[in-house]
Amino acid sequence: MAIIARSTPAAVADRRRPGPDIILFVAMVALSAVGVLMVYSASRTRLETLGLDPTGEMVDQAIFAAVGLVLFFVASFIDYREWRNVAPFVYIATLLALGAVFLFEPGAARAQRWIPIGSYQLQPAEFAKMAMILVLASVLVPAKEEGMSWRRLVQTIVIVALPAVLIYLEPDLGTMLVFAFITLVMLFIGGTTLRQLTVLMTAAGAGALAIWRLGLLRDYQIERLQSVFNPSAADPLGAAYNLIQSEIAIGSGGFFGKGLFLGTQTNLDFVPAQTTDFIFTAVGEQLGFVGGALVLLAYAIVIWRLLVIAGNARDRYGVLLVAGIAAMFAFHVYINIGMTVGIAPVTGLPLPFMSAGGSTYVTMAISLGIANSVWLRRSPVPGETYIV
């Protein structure tokens, strides 16, 4: 529960050198540790069957976690206001990277989302989320004082649309949805009027309907949407297969789970993309309702701390930055876990700090590091109200 406290001169003196957000850091580390364990649990049997090192994917994830934690500290010690100066260059670099993916051979499901770097795959769309947040925060800072003009609103939409179109062509519908949600939240925080939001939402709805009616969605994307809204009509061996196997895995875990490494759905590799998109099914099957609830609690703590940091930011840029990060994080968690239990379409969004993959982990770690930088540089003023 948030406590409203009024700063005093003595309190200000005690907080001249604010410390890092330990709660945020501990929650991130806890999720990372569970993620490494679940990646091992979900991959070891498959790797053994293929005659490979059963710890291979776990080691890779542990390396990503170590790199991510280092980058978290680096981002924490960089003054977050410096990002405002380099945001345009970061944005342009991500646009170039998003364009570069089309120079390489398609990967799984004929998608072109990755740039091969040695034995690893770089996914620029993950970094584009943070780049967009950095740029939008810069653009929206003056809107609070000057008002949100229609010109600024159009400028915001253009900034979002350029990478969104490239991501759509990959195709990656899930990341497009992340962009839309982040934009909506940041516009709301940035001072967009109700009339502007109404016009924007109406235009977005019309655009979505046009995409549907013009057949711009691929067949598998339509089938995945139908499997959520009308499960009985979906092919149980096709579009609905992922959802059915996921629900079986989580449901079979019961209250306390089958036990670590004892999940049949996990060990027999029934759930597709077990270590990436559907990593939460390994938690549900092996650790049960209790384990899943604890994981959700850890995510809730991260989101809570991000909201507290945004409430204590010393300037509008900090507020907008952390609000965008919180929106990105919350949407990932909701959609990923939601698709494993049938309340959200299967979109391929990874679960932060738990799904296998370096691009997502590094992006999330840097984003929380930037949020921690905002927390480290909060500056209480005598008589001003802060959330603690």
- The reported pLDDT for the residue numbered 17 is 63
Can you give the pTM of this predicted structure? Answer: 0.87
Backbone angles phi, psi at 359, to 5 degrees: -60, -45
Radius of gyration of the chain (CA): 21
Q: For residue 36, give the nearest of 348, 373, 302, 275 by alpha carbon.
A: 275
Range of weakest confidence among 1-5, 35-39, 191-195, 274-278: 1-5
Between the CA atoms of 166, 167, 170 and 176, what dihedral angle is there, to the nearest 10 degrees?
Answer: -140
For residue range 170-208, what is the model confidence (pLDDT) as tens digits? 878 888 889 999 999 999 898 888 888 888 888 877 877
- The reported pLDDT for the residue numbered 298 is 97
- pLDDT surpassing 60 at residue 9: no
- The reported pLDDT for the residue numbered 215 is 65
- The reported pLDDT for the residue numbered 222 is 64
Backbone angles phi, psi at 141, to 5 degrees: -55, -50
Look up the domain containing 29 and give its range.
4-387
- pLDDT surpassing 50 at residue 10: no
Q: For residue 173, give the nearest of 161, 185, 165 by alpha carbon.
A: 165
Q: Assess contact for 276 and 240: CB atoms under 8 A.
A: no
- pLDDT surpassing 60 at residue 385: no
b (16+ CB within 10 A) / e for 16-40: eeeebbeebbebbebbbebbbbbbb
Which pLDDT band holds residue 248 (cuts at 50, 70, 90)?
Answer: confident
Number of domains in the chain: 1
- pLDDT surpassing 70 at residue 1: no
Range of weakest confidence among 2-16, 58-72, 82-96, 277-291: 2-16
- pLDDT surpassing 60 at residue 240: yes
For residue range 126-141, what is the model confidence (pLDDT) as tens digits? 999 999 999 999 999 8
- The reported pLDDT for the residue numbered 368 is 97
Which pLDDT band holds residue 269 (cuts at 50, 70, 90)?
Answer: confident
7 or 149: whose pLDDT is higher?
A: 149
- The reported pLDDT for the residue numbered 7 is 47
- The reported pLDDT for the residue numbered 382 is 41
- Extract the tokens encoding 295: 């994981």
For residue range 336-353, what is the model confidence (pLDDT) as tens digits? 999 888 888 777 789 999
